[in-house]
Structure 1
Amino acid sequence: HLHELPDQRGMMEKVALFSHRVTDADELPGVLARAFALFSASRPGPVHIEIPTDIMVKPAGGIAALLTNVAPPEPNPAAIAEAAKLCAAARRP
């Protein structure tokens, strides 16, 4: 179980754009805002938020306002054309 790992942040910060351990329910809106901003940026990637079980049961205000629909980044037509060109020219694509 992931919650039984002794150092989740230490493990996850090696692969995630952002890793944070929530120590108070009041910090959750800010942490979520930062996580959403990072993983929906032009170069998206994984984020990690560790929320201890004692914090999970506490109320946290202001979260719903932060969760907006974020459109994925649009593909770059020039990059797609270049990738297609490389695939077409490859000996073993």
Structure 2
Amino acid sequence: MTRNLEWRVGVELREEAGRTKAEAHLDTGTATFTGHGSARCNPADTDVPVIGDELAASRAMKDLAGKLMREANREMEAVGAGTVPARTGPGYGWPEAVS
């Protein structure tokens, strides 16, 4: 079976009252997911807006990834497949890539 899919993730950023807030949106065609993230500059640090953007966006995408993984786990359980235990090691991917 060959399948080709394309999922697009969009990230919206906004600054409000010294905080950068981000929302990451994923539409799979059958479901939608939204992740949230935020960042703020420490008053003692130099204000570099791009760093706040990167932190907020990465946190939103991490939240989105967690929601997608939880949905995959629910779907695996629904068809009788086991899921990965919550704490088995470094997570997904190559161990050397996450150290």
TM-score using structure 1 length: 0.26
Structure whose CA Rg is larger: 1
Task: Flag the structure with higher strand content.
Answer: 2
Task: Flag the structure with higher helix content.
Answer: 1
TM-score using structure 2 length: 0.25
